[in-house]
Structure formats: structure tokens, C-alpha cells
Chains A and B, each alone.
Chain A
Amino acid sequence: MVNAAIQATQLNKWFGEGEARTHAVKDVSFEARFGEMLYVVGPSGSGKTTMLSMISGILRPNSGTVRIEDTDIWAITKDQLADFRLHKIGFVFQDYHLFPRLTTAENVAIPLILQDRPWDEAVREAVRNLEVVGLKNRAGLPPVKLSGGEQQRVAIARAIVSRPDIMIFDEPTASLDGDTGRNIVQFVRQEVLSEHRCIVIVTHDTRIYEFADRIMRMEDGRLAGFERGDGSLDAQ
């Protein structure tokens, strides 16, 4: 791969002041490549979510830059960045944040609706994506009628529905049983990932390590190194 999909340089983030100050991410630099599924692993509190938020344009770093494709995302205006997220990035949040007053299909359609696609077309597209996560028969129900695992699959369907270039998943299989989690990640790997897309996944779930191209380890806010999906250390 020649081009970097995401290029993070010297990222730093701290929270709070004085005694309470936490340096959550320390001098992190890395690249995520097009066509790759990059995993981020590390103990709880090691700064994974914070780092993910900075590379996806949701949390401004205290220092450092993030380049996605050719855009320095922290150098553009707020509205431009919102537009950029809408068209380039798909998320799975740690909590799913589904709308209880919309149907499951409408929830999945949200990114398309915000992109101005006609409502019915967006919902049809959403139903197709629900089918791949095995929830087509739940399309018309409100999400509260679904189990935790099913809601997580809805959140995944919402993240991939518009087939964004960059997909950022924070612990997407945490509440799925082994087979379901594997199947969905396998589907995403085979059908959604492509030459011009990149997927970054934070996970503790060793059952899905086999789908990773590289695994990036974080410890105490620092980048501790890369491994191959098979576990061998990659100097990079």
C-alpha cells in the first residue's frame, strides 16, 4: 500500500488540570493504510478511545496532527469537519446510541438521511445492511425491542451503511457471542473492506484477531508496538 489512509503525528491529549491532570495519549504517531484492517488493543484506560476520537475528528488533540487522505482534519472549520465525518467516516460507538423513537431500519439509515438521500431510498438501503448483520426481520421494530447483541449489530450496520472510506469501531463485538462477532467482522472484512477503505477496530476480543492485518498495542497512553494478526512482533 502506498498511500496512508490515516496519518497521525505526535498526538497528545490530556484531560483536567493540576493534580487531576491525566495525560491520556502521549506522542502517538502511526499510519493506517488503505485496504487494511488495523486493530488497536491495550488495557482499559490505556487511551484507545481517546486516540480513536482524535483520528476520527471528534476530539481535538492538544498537539499533533491527523491527516485523513489529503485532509488535515484539525485544520479545517467545524462545519467542514462535520461534513467530512458525515461523508468519510463511519462509527460504532462504545454505547450504541440508537434512537428509541425510530425503527431499527430508520436508525441504520441516519447517515444516508443526513447525507440528503431520499428517505425511502435510505431506508431500503438500511434494510439491505440489516440483512447482512442478520436482522432483516427486525427492520420495522424499535431498537428497544432488540437484545444488546442485536443492538450492537444495528450500530455496525449504521456505521457501514454509507460505505465510508474510514470506519472506526470501538469494541464492536463486546456484547456479541463468539460466532456472531466473528461472522460480522468476517463479513465486514470480505464485503466492506476494499482497496480504498480502511477499518480501525478497538477490541479485546481475541476471537477476531485472525481478521487483523496489523494489531497496534497501546499502554499507558503510549504506542507500545505493532504485531501481526498471528501475534509476531512487527518492528515497523
Chain B
Amino acid sequence: MTAEIPGALRVAYKLLVNDRTKFTALVLGITFAVFLMIEMTSLFAGILSRASSTVINIGASLWIMDPSVQTVANTIPLPDYVLDEVRSIPGVKYAVPFYSGAALLKLSDGTYQAANVIGLDDSTLVGRPGLLKGKIEDIFAENGFLAVEDSEFYKLKGATLGSEFELNDNRGRIVGIAKVSSSGLFGVPTLYTTYYRALQYIPNTRFTISYVLAEPKHASDVTQIKARVAAAGYLALTKEEFTAKISDFYKYHTGIGTNMLLMTLFSFAVGLLISGQTFYTFILENIDKFGALKAIGAKGSALVTMILFQAAFVSLTGYGIGVGLCALVIWLARLQLPDYAAIITFLNLGVAFLMVVVIASISSYVGVRKVLRIEPFDIFRG
């Protein structure tokens, strides 16, 4: 860095910003790309998070399942001896059965509504949700169910404490309204009840346990527990591993991941094309000015700094507006569509930022090459 930079940067800034049309086109190109990239990846992140909502909401440390399980929703029932087997492993503090299954509710107005029913272990209620209304003990009351107030709650048509419904000719009664951190992906409301009531009310296959939930005595016991479970022919995953496995399923074994990836790359390419092309034209239009600066005595390094500054300024402005626009659109969409799944994660922001840096680098590389190559003599001759 030479001491002449600040003045030169101010010149660079004015060259850039005072050319309103080009500046707007440059910023819009980046904004557009950032908006699309973040929107795409946020939507995907939202879907992934919802796909793992049960794992997130229950919060158990270890999930024991059939090795063929791909997502939390597609359960493969386990025989009861798996529970005993897990309980007998040294290092397991406790292990409980867990039920998750689909059910068809007949609401009080006579309409039908599909729902996800979760059965919590009767003696411990491991994984119980926080309650907005009602008392948790009432889950043991006759026909007691908790309704989850998530984005699907309205489908229960104004359910509140005391509301009743039918489930396979059994009566159900809402005794609590629960709050969970993540809504589900499948667009159905969720009800919590006890494990045994779930088994009684919902017809089942020969085996009944959806998952065995376990808590290790110490974090260091996890490896050993996993090995023992594996030896028995089953799979134990930490909640992080399970979430990752579910994410991987959606990313790699459904069309969603590929499409998202394509759309993100597409946004990137469009942004690169618009911004790169505009920046290149901008440099070309100013090439004789850069040449004149060189002739007057600006060093190559000063010119490079000017171009990098311009590229960085455009990119950051476009990035900022793009992120803001995205947040605004997601917020607006949520007002209209409670189911709208997008979440902006730091990873999304980071990925978009990285792509913007790549766009800016490619654009300025092209500009720098051009500017370093001009001969002041050609400028001098006119």
C-alpha cells in the first residue's frame, strides 16, 4: 500500500458512483444474484430443518432405529427386546420407547384431518414439549392429547382446551396447547399423547416402538453405546447425526437437493454474467482515463487498488441490498403463508457472500489485466 491510496480511492469511488446507470446495473446484478441464491438456499434450509422437526423438538441425545431408516417420518417399528437390550448397555442412563405415526382425525365439525401423533414414554414423558396452555399431567387424563401450536395448528379448526375429536372410533380431548421450536414439513398438525394411548388408538403392526430414545451417562459413553447397538443389528445416532442423515436424504436422494443446487448455480451464473459484463464495460469505457492516470504517474498498484475497491464497493452494496430484500420477502411471505419454510442461516449468508466474492474477483481480475496492459503512450498519442 502506498500513501497515495486514499485520494485515489476517492477518485475511484466518484468514477463508479457518478456513473449512475452503470452503477445501478452493477449493484442490481449482484443484488439479483444474492437474492436468488439466498432465497433458494434459505428455502432449502427451511425444508431440511422441517424434515428433522421431530428430532429437533424431542431433543433426545440418542436415537436407536432400524439401519434402513432414511427420515424420521418413515419409521420402521422395532421389537420390544431392543428396548431391553439398550437398557442393559452399561453407560446408558435411561432408554425409553417412542412412538410416531400418522392418524386420521374426525374433527368436531365432522371433517377429517390427517395428523402426526407422537407417543411419549408414560413413566418419564421424555421429549415433552413446553406448554402454552394446560398442565402436562393432564396428558394422563382420559383421552388426553396435547395439540401443537405450530404453522399447521389452524387445521385443527380452532382447537383449544377441551376440544374433542375422534380417532379411529376413540374419543380424544385436547388437554394442553404446546409450543415447539420447529414445524413439520408435511403440512399436518401434530398431537402428543402417551406411548400406550398412542398404541391403543392407532392400529399397529406386530412391532410397535418407532424409536428407542436413550441418554448416555457421559458423553464419552456414546461411542461404546453405538457399537453395542450396532452389534445387535440396529443403529444408534446422536440427534446431530440423525438430523444430518435426514438432510442428506433430502439433498442427495430426492430431486429437491439437485434442483436447489442447480437454481443456486444458475443465480450465480446470472449474477456473474450481468455484473461481470457490466464491470468489464465500465473498465473499458474508462480505460483511457486509467491510462491517463498511469501517464501522470499513478503506480500499477494504485490502479489495481482502485479497481479492487470499485469491485468490492459494488459487491458489498449489492450483497447488503440482496440480503435485506431476501429478509423482507421471507417476512412478507410468512405474513401470507404461515407454512413458508425459508430460514436464512449463517451458512446461506456465507455461501452467497462467497459467491459474490468470486463474482467480484473474476470481474476485477479481468479489469486489472486490462488496466495493467494499457500503454500510457497510446493515450498520449491520442
Query: Which of B10, B291, B375, B379 counts the most A-chain CB atoms under 10 A from its CB?
Result: B379
> Contacts of B377 on A, CB cut-off 8 Å?
53, 58-59
> Contacts of B4 on A, CB cut-off 8 Å?
113-116
Q: Are A49 and B14 in contact (CB under 8 A)?
A: no
Name A100-124 residues within 8 Å CB distance of B: 101-102, 106, 110-111, 113-117, 119, 122
Name A199-220 residues within 8 Å CB distance of B: none
Q: How far is the CB of B134 from chain A (nearest CB, A)?
A: 67
Of B188-196, B200-208, B293-301, the stretch lying at the interface with chain A is: B293-301
- A59 to B381 CA separation, bound complex (whole angstroms): 11
Q: How far is the CB of B155 from chain A (nearest CB, A)?
A: 58
- A28 to B379 CA separation, bound complex (whole angstroms): 23
Q: Are B379 and A86 in contact (CB under 8 A)?
A: no
Q: Are A49 and B380 in contact (CB under 8 A)?
A: yes
Q: Mark A130-146, 1 if CB is under 8 A from B, else 0.
A: 00000000000000000
> Contacts of B294 on A, CB cut-off 8 Å?
82
The reply on B129 being an interface residue by CB < 8 A is no
Q: Are A82 and B14 in contact (CB under 8 A)?
A: no
Nearest to A90 among chain B residues (CB) is B296
> Contacts of A58 on B, CB cut-off 8 Å?
295, 376-377, 380
Q: Name the contact of B380 in the complex, choosing from A78, A79, A91, A122 (C-beta under 8 A).
A: A91
- A93 to B292 CA separation, bound complex (whole angstroms): 9
Q: Are B15 and A99 in contact (CB under 8 A)?
A: yes
- A117 to B298 CA separation, bound complex (whole angstroms): 14
> Contacts of B295 on A, CB cut-off 8 Å?
58, 85, 91, 93
Q: Name the contact of A95 in the complex, choosing from B10, B18, B300, B382 (C-beta under 8 A).
A: B382
Taking A97-B288, A97-B292, A170-B380 as contacts, is the C-beta distance between A78 and B7 under 8 angstroms? no
- A172 to B381 CA separation, bound complex (whole angstroms): 13
Give the number of A-B contacts (CB < 8 Å).
94
Query: Which of B19, B288, B292, B294 counts the most A-chain CB atoms under 10 A from its CB?
Result: B292
Q: How far is the CB of A78 from chain B (nearest CB, A)?
A: 7
- A102 to B377 CA separation, bound complex (whole angstroms): 23
The reply on B8 being an interface residue by CB < 8 A is yes
The reply on A94 being an interface residue by CB < 8 A is yes
Q: Name the contact of A114 in the complex, choosing from B293, B300, B376 (C-beta under 8 A).
A: B293
**Chain B interface size, under 10 / 10 to 19 / 20 to 34 / 35 or more:** 20 to 34
- A66 to B291 CA separation, bound complex (whole angstroms): 22
Q: Are B7 and A116 in contact (CB under 8 A)?
A: yes
Q: Mark B287-326, 1 if CB is under 8 A from A, else 0.
A: 0110111111111111000000000000000000000000
Taking A59-B377, A94-B382 as contacts, is the C-beta distance between A106 and B8 under 8 angstroms? no
Q: Name the contact of A101 in the complex, choosing from B3, B8, B15, B298 (C-beta under 8 A).
A: B15
- A91 to B294 CA separation, bound complex (whole angstroms): 12
Q: Mark B170-213, 1 if CB is under 8 A from A, else 0.
A: 00000000000000000000000000000000000000000000
The reply on B256 being an interface residue by CB < 8 A is no
- 9 further A-B contacts with Cβ under 8 Å, apart from A53-B381, A91-B295, are A49-B381, A59-B377, A82-B294, A85-B297, A91-B380, A101-B15, A113-B4, A113-B7, A114-B293
Q: Which 9 A-B pairs have the closest CB atoms?
A: A86-B297, A94-B382, A95-B382, A113-B7, A101-B18, A97-B292, A85-B297, A59-B377, A58-B376
B interface, CB within 8 angstroms of A: 3-4, 7-8, 10-11, 14-15, 18-19, 288-289, 291-302, 375-377, 379-382
**12 CB-based A-B contacts, threshold 8 Å:** A53-B377, A59-B377, A79-B300, A82-B294, A82-B298, A84-B297, A91-B380, A95-B288, A99-B11, A101-B18, A114-B302, A117-B7
